[in-house]
Structure 1
Amino acid sequence: MSVVSNTSPITNLAGIGQLDLLHQFYDTITIPQAVYNEMATIGRAVPGALEVQTLPWITVQPVKDQNQVEALRAVLDPGKAEAIVLALELNASLLIIDERPGRSIARQNSILIIGVLGVLLEAKQQGLIASVQPLVDRLINELEFRVSKRLYETVLQTTGEA
């Protein structure tokens, strides 16, 4: 299974101590160079930065079609644009991405997507975590992860924690 990730799922999961869930679910995560750069070369500590530089199950792969990346850059930042193009180039089974504009473009290109909340829901269903609510609360309160009240309530209802 080929899985590509954007920056925010890695930083957010690392920020709440749950990055290993990606490894448990997908074995290997591939990130484009722009995602690596957003995390490892910005000159300040970012959750997950050390991990993308050291963990063998997170690999960096350059994007070939820079024209397509540039076209997407009109509406997306470099990491999202490259993640979508890399997912297309690899015919990835899944793209891990959270932000609405990137998710919309991925869907338009028939790329299967999941976000941090989906990963946490899957982890709860598989018994890898006991509860989703404290982790989502940490995402919101500590990492400024944006979740609408409606989505928050839906997640808790889905997990039986509401």
Structure 2
Amino acid sequence: MIVVSDTSPISNLAAIGQLVILQQLYSEVIVPTAVHQELLNSGSEDLAVLAIQTLDWIQIRSVNNAALLQPLQAILDVGEAEAIVLAIELTADRLLMNERRGRQQAIQAGLKVTGLLGILLAAKQQKVVTTVKPLLDALIANGFWVHGELYAETLSLARE
């Protein structure tokens, strides 16, 4: 399975010490160079920085298709744009992305997109985690914003 990720799923899971969820779900995650740089720019003490520098299951790849990249960079940040283009180039099975505009562009491009809440639900479904609520609460406590209705819907889907 080919999985490409934007910055947010990696940085948020790293912040709560749950980056291993991605490895257990997908074995390998590929990030474009812009996402790698965004993670590095978050600070040397950030858990995502340490992860990206030490974990061999997170691979870094360059984007090649400038013609696809340019129009996306006009409306999205560079990490999101590169993640979408890399997912297209690699014919990825899944793109991990949270930001609404990026998700919309990725879906329009025919990509299958999963956000952080979907990752948590998949982790529970595949028995990688036993409960979603404590992880969701930890993400929120760490600054990840979830609308109240989506929070309730996620817990309902998780049967919690």
TM-score bin (small chain) = over 0.9
Matched, 1:141 2:138: no
Q: Superposed, which structure 2 residues align to 1:34-113 within 5 Å?
A: 34-113=34-113
Q: Which amino acid aligns with 1:105?
A: Q
Shift of the 55–100 alpha-carbon distance from structure 1 to 2, 3 Å rule, reads same
Counterpart of 1:6 in structure 2 is 6
Counterpart of 1:114 in structure 2 is 114
Q: Which amino acid aligns with 1:152?
A: Y
Q: How far apart are residue 90 of structure 1 and its match?
A: 0.5
Task: Tell me the C-alpha RMSD between the 2 structures.
Answer: 1.3
Matched, 1:155 2:154: yes
Q: How far apart are residue 116 of structure 1 and its match?
A: 1.1
TM-score by length of 1: 0.94
Q: How far apart are residue 42 of structure 1 and its match?
A: 4.8
Counterpart of 1:125 in structure 2 is 125
Q: Which amino acid aligns with 1:16?
A: I
TM-score by length of 2: 0.95
Q: Which amino acid aligns with 1:93?
A: D
Q: Distance in 2 between matches of 1:42 and 1:15?
A: 12
Q: Superposed, which structure 2 residues align to 1:15-30 within 5 Å?
A: 15-30=15-30
Q: Secondary structure at the match of 1:48?
A: helix
Contact 2:98 2:115 survives alignment (8 Å): yes
The share of aligned pairs that are identical, in percent, is 46
Shift of the 9–69 alpha-carbon distance from structure 1 to 2, 3 Å rule, reads same
Contact 2:2 2:90 survives alignment (8 Å): yes
Q: Distance in 1 between matches of 2:23 and 2:43?
A: 26
Question: After the TM superposition, which of the residue ranges 39-48 and 18-27 deviates more from structure 2?
Answer: 39-48
For this pair of structures, how many residues does the alignment match? 160
Q: Distance in 1 between matches of 2:28 and 2:50?
A: 16
Contact 1:12 1:47 survives alignment (8 Å): no
Question: After the TM superposition, which of the residue ranges 106-115 and 63-72 deviates more from structure 2?
Answer: 63-72
Q: Deviations over 1:115-142 (max 9, x none)?
A: 1111111111222212111111111111
